[in-house]
A and B are shown apart, each in its own frame.
Chain A
Amino acid sequence: MNSNIRESKGDRIFLICNYVFLCILLIAVLYPLIYVLSASFSSTKAVTSGRVWLWPVDFSLTAYKEVFNYALIWKGYANSIFYTVVGTLINIALTIMAAYPLSRKDFKGKNLFMLLFVFTMIFNGGLIPTYLLVKDLGMLDTRWALIIPNAMSVFNVIITRTYFKTTIPDELLESAQLDGCTDMKFLTRIVLPLSGPIIAVIALFYAVGHWNEYFDALIYLRDQNLFPLQLILKNILAQSEIDPSMIGDIAMLQSRIGLTELLKYALIVVSSLPVLIIYPFVQRHFVKGVMIGSLKE
């Protein structure tokens, strides 16, 4: 659109209002996050008495010291990294293994397979039968329970297939076949090197999914040593108050409650940091993913 054309008065008012609107919106989105960050760096007293409203008050690192001393959290961190890395690698491998054959015109039976895949998107067995299956497979309370049942997402298979179909020209395959290239070689030597963008997109979708997942861990795991970070967080964040009968002294109780509150703020920061640090660099990939996802064929 051409901004050189002189704007009329009405348009200028509109544009100013538009900027004001967007600024208000940005503040509304950012404020809670800034508040959490500032509160986590403030002193217990400042937070509980409500003196924090934008910047840290009585700067202190008490909350972070507490978090660092909490062994379970680091265990959870390590577990989450494991689930995210291993899970995502398996996800990518399976997704490509499914998407590539489905993208080929000469893959006989692809329509039937597609139907089989897409049907699972609109109908599923439900929570209980899936749980019973995982139980029957002996995966309860093992790391596999968080990886194998979520080894592939049909939605991601479909967007990957769309990408293959639209970016790999048929002529390329034909000429490779004339030169005696096998399907496997074609995939590894030609298709995959051309598919960097889509692999980045699905890897990110999968990785964020693994990192943020808590429910599967909640139903499949009992052993605390296997808990991912989100489940440990859930147990701390959703836990309401400390049992007053445990601590006799009122002043002591007050400070304990304040500290737990503070600890929660610090925990939110520590757990969201990896995603939010990487996010600005990979944001465009997510956007691309949404775009490809909205394409058909």
Chain B
Amino acid sequence: MGTTKLQTSKLTSQTKVSVKKRFTFMKALKNHWQLYLLFCLPLLYVIVFKYVPMYGAIIAFKNFDPTLGIWGSPWVGLDNFIKFIHSYEFGRVLKNTLLLSLYHLIAGFPFPIILALSLNYVYRKRFKKFAQMITYAPHFISVVVIVGIILLFLSPRGPFSQVLSLFGVHNVDIMGEPSLFKSIYVWSDIWQNVGFGCIIYLAALTGVSPSLHEAAIIDGASILKRIWHIDIPGILPTTIILLILNMGSILDTGFQKVLLLQNSLNLSSSEVIDTFVYKVGLVAPIPQYSYAAAIGFFKAAIAFVLIIGANRLARKVGQESLW
């Protein structure tokens, strides 16, 4: 009896709280209706263009038929996923995606840090500004143009082949060589983004206390020693956080660029999950919407777990996270 009474009283207090909450919400709505009015459109946008596709993703578990609609199409459970896992492409696509991202992560990570450390010791302001302006610039060139430049440079008659022919290597089709694809992708990306990537490290370096440097100079420390013992420890937290967070998005290859760099000869090493989804779902003469959506969902689900995990880890390591 006693416990029931307790529960009832607890229940009433809860309803009271929720009534009160609703009351304050109504009051807020009345006082700040203009804010809510403003917010309507963005909210509608997010719901329609972000959440409706999430609902649409259930076609991954169905056999989607455009005439029946998303809800009307018959459920097939995990058939599409099983089909993908047992398919010939599964291993290849997954391997390419992981290798490409890991290669990109490992090769691309040190360069912005080195550039930031180097720029930090340029005492001539003008030269520093100039160097920053030049190195940031390629970031703003479109992916189509970047790929265009790569294709022109590496074409059998392009400048790179001409340099190779000086060394007696003639007529190699560099873009058609599967073993070179990943390097071309990664190094051109480093070329394009090293400058922009260093901005965040430069910001972290300005956070290093000048008094540490002054003390070190008085003690006779060389610049190299100062970089090693002051600057690098100073930017280490930023570095670790960025590294962990990048690990979280490991399945996100630069899909648009990969797609443009692909050709039938290098496909064995350039087909990644995203390009595969695009081909199965949109390019194929008979688009397999459900199958493609299942592959996409497979990727999004793994990516989700990875990001959550990376964020947890980041919070544990540096008390810092995305949210």
Establish whether residues B133 and A28, one from each chain, have CB atoms under 8 Å apart when the complex forms.
no
State A264–B152 Cα separation when bound (angstroms).
Answer: 8
A65 within 8 A of B: no
Q: A106-B32, A123-B300, A238-B147 are in contact. Are A29 and B293 (CB under 8 A)?
A: no
A127 and B122 contact, Cβ closer than 8 Å, known pairs A8-B222, A26-B135, A36-B149: no
Asked whether A133 lies within 8 Å of B217 as measured between CB atoms, the reply is no
Besides the known contacts A132-B289, A212-B144, 10 further A-B residue pairs in the complex with CB atoms under 8 A apart: A29-B194, A50-B159, A100-B38, A104-B35, A109-B25, A126-B293, A127-B292, A184-B34, A215-B259, A290-B200
Q: Verify B118–A182 contact, CB threshold 8 A.
A: no
Interface positions of B from 9 to 35, Cβ below 8 Å from A: 24-25, 28-29, 31-32, 34-35
Partner of A133, one of B56, B132, B137, B157: B56
Partner of B223, one of A11, A94, A102: A11
- Shortest distance from the beta carbon of B256 to any chain A beta carbon, whole Å: 5
Which chain A residues lie closer than 8 Å to B323 at the CB level?
118
- Does B167 sit at the interface, judged by CB under 8 A? no
The answer to whether A214 touches B143 (Cβ under 8 A) is yes
Instruction: Decide yes or no: A276 and B118 within 8 Å by CB, A32-B153, A117-B46, A120-B46 being known contacts.
Output: no
Digitize A91-119: 1 where CB-to-B-CB distance is under 8 Å, 0 elsewhere: 00011011011101011110001001110
- A234–B148 Cα distance when bound, in Å, is 8
- Please state if B307 and A122 are interface contacts (CB–CB under 8 Å): yes
In-complex Cβ contact of B118 among A8, A18, A95 (8 A) = A18
Category for how many chain B residues contact A: 35 or more
Chain A residues whose C-beta falls within 8 Å of the C-beta of B300 in the assembled complex: 123-126
Which residues on the B side are within 8 Å of A230 (C-beta)? 142, 144
Q: Check: A291 CB closer than 8 A to any chain B CB.
A: yes
Q: Say whether B6 faces chain A, with CB atoms less than 8 Å apart.
A: no
Surface stretch bound by A, among B47-55, B83-91, B96-104, B178-186: B47-55
Least Cβ distance of A45 to chain B in Å? 12
**The 9 residue pairs across chains A and B that have the minimum distance between CB atoms:** A125-B53, A129-B56, A126-B296, A98-B42, A212-B142, A237-B148, A108-B28, A129-B53, A120-B50
Within 8 A of B (CB), among A223-259: 230-231, 233-234, 237-238, 240
Interface membership of A22, Cβ < 8 A: yes
Chain A residues, CB < 8 A from B109: none
CA distance A236 to B141 in the complex (A): 17
Nearest to B293 among chain A residues (CB) is: A128
Q: Interface stretch among A55-63, A149-157, A162-170, A193-201?
A: A149-157
Could you mark each residue 221-240 of chain B with 1 if its beta carbon is under 8 Å from any beta carbon of chain A, else 0? 01110000000000000000
Tell whether, in the assembled complex, residue A48 and residue B289 are in contact, meaning their CB atoms are under 8 Å apart: no
Q: Cβ of B196: which chain A residues have Cβ within 8 Å of it?
A: 286, 290
Does A144 interact with chain B (Cβ within 8 Å)?
no
Measured between C-beta atoms, what is the minimum distance from A173 to chain B in Å? 11
Chain B residues contacting A151 (CB-CB under 8 Å) are: 45, 49
Q: Are A126 and B41 in contact (CB under 8 A)?
A: no
B172 on the A face (CB < 8 A):
no
Question: B191 to A28, Cβ gap below 8 A?
Answer: yes
- Are A122 and B134 CB-contacts (below 8 A) given A22-B122, A32-B153, A157-B42? no
Return the CB mask of B144-160 against A: 1 if under 8 Å, else 0. 11011101110101010
Contact A32–B34 (Cβ < 8 Å): no
CB atoms of A279 and B140 under 8 A apart: yes
